Structure 1
Amino acid sequence: MSDKDAEFQSLDELAAEGDEMDAAAAAGFEEIKALQAERDELRDKFMRALADAENMRKRADRDRREAENYGGSKLARDMLPVYDNMRRALDSANEAEHEINKALLEGVELTMRELLHVFKKHGIEPIAPEVGDKFNPQLHQAMFEAPLPGTKAGEIIQVAANGFMLHDRLLRPAQVGVSSMPAS
């Protein structure tokens, strides 16, 4: 073998080694691209899991606040007839009975004040419309309509029962009678 043949052979070997190195570099580059894609996918999954965890925390916090504020609404609704009955008892006593049953009526009044204090403590506020107020379907329930001279259509002419709000929610609408006087 001549020096030239040996030289060509070593050039061929170098070229083959270069091809192997290019193939290895290409394989390494492909592996780097695959690892970057996997990293990006894992980063995306991590960010989504983080967002889900934050949303769950917010939802749990909101649910806890709602349970705290409105969890007792069934009990509160069940206590409203007690208030109504006490109100009727006080309203039904005439002047003569006030003197005879003074201690009893005073006890009922104190109990009613305490009930209202407990209501207030738990975010229950009365809706007490007055005769002549404008009917509001968001807060009032019309029990009847009647034409009453000297009133305008949509005015409250009688209050049958007070309503109640639990924080910002309607617990029970005020029960009222409404004027249906036609416009003149």
Structure 2
Amino acid sequence: MAEPKNEEFLDDIEDAEAQAYAEEMEEIDDEALELDQLRAERDQLRDRFMRALADAENARKRSDRDRREAENYGGSKLSRDMLPVYDNMKRAIETITDEQKEANSALIEGIELTMRELLSVFKKHGIEIIAPEVGDRFDPQHHQAMFEAPVPGTKAGDIIQVAAEGFMLHDRLLRPAQVGVSSTPAS
């Protein structure tokens, strides 16, 4: 009779070992599942982090570009508003006669100094004058045709008169030069 107890005892041990093994395997499976979930979460967080870094870099670049544009072109409205001041001062200086220069030399010198200062401020802020000359080719990127006329001795598209100078603010057109353009001369 001792043997059946040993057999039962051995069966109980085998059952206990099998159950312990099953529980251990289940625990390992649970841990493996948890590890897979943690890896997936890590990968998702890494992806979000990399996207956030890329977004931050893009925002930095965009703000740098916006800042540069604001520095270069933020005053374009004021610059455009100053162009008639330049035009009027230039016309005033061009109409001064020699007699007026002799009689009012201090006043005229003041006007010329003011014009030089205005040009200096333009240059300081990146405003350049577009000054085409008669005979130059018409460039629609920088010139505005005010009229066309056939002029003997010219080719179609040649500038025949300059009505007003144009202006660039860095690489942007503030105002095109206003010109008269030759059309095909009549034969």
TM-score, normalised to structure 2's length?
0.93
- Contact 2:142 2:166 (C-alpha < 8 Å) held by counterparts: yes
- Contact 2:151 2:185 (C-alpha < 8 Å) held by counterparts: no
- What SS class does the counterpart of residue 68 from structure 2 fall into? helix
Please state if 1:38 is matched with 2:48. no
Moved more, 92-101 or 157-166: 92-101
Please state if 1:138 is matched with 2:127. no
- Contact 1:152 1:183 (C-alpha < 8 Å) held by counterparts: no
- Contact 2:145 2:181 (C-alpha < 8 Å) held by counterparts: yes
Tell me the equivalent position of 1:77. Answer: 80
Please state if 1:179 is matched with 2:182. yes
Tell me the equivalent position of 1:161. Answer: 164
Q: State the distance in 2 between where 1:43 and 1:154 align.
A: 62
Unaligned runs of 5+ in 1: none
Moved more, 14-23 or 2-11: 2-11
Percent identity for Structure 1 against Structure 2: 68
- Contact 2:145 2:180 (C-alpha < 8 Å) held by counterparts: yes
- What SS class does the counterpart of residue 181 from structure 2 fall into? strand
RMSD over aligned CA atoms reads 1.5
**Superposed CA offset, 1:74-129 (max 9, x none):** 11111000000011112223444444444333322221111001100111110000
- What SS class does the counterpart of residue 140 from structure 2 fall into? coil
Alpha-carbon offset, residue 6 of structure 1: 1.1
Q: State the distance in 2 between where 1:97 and 1:154 align.
A: 39
Tell me the equivalent position of 1:109. Answer: 112
Residue of 122, 131, 142 corresponding to 2:125: 122
Unaligned runs of 5+ in 2: none
Amino acid at match of 1:30: L
**Superposed CA offset, 1:125-162 (max 9, x none):** 10000100000000001111111111110000001111
Alpha-carbon offset, residue 183 of structure 1: 8.5
Q: State the distance in 1 between where 2:167 and 2:14 align.
A: 98
- Contact 1:132 1:156 (C-alpha < 8 Å) held by counterparts: yes
Q: State the distance in 2 between where 1:67 and 1:110 align.
A: 30
**Superposed CA offset, 1:59-84 (max 9, x none):** 11111111111111111111000000
Alpha-carbon offset, residue 181 of structure 1: 2.2
- Contact 1:142 1:178 (C-alpha < 8 Å) held by counterparts: yes
TM-score, normalised to structure 1's length?
0.94
- What SS class does the counterpart of residue 180 from structure 2 fall into? strand
- What SS class does the counterpart of residue 134 from structure 2 fall into? coil
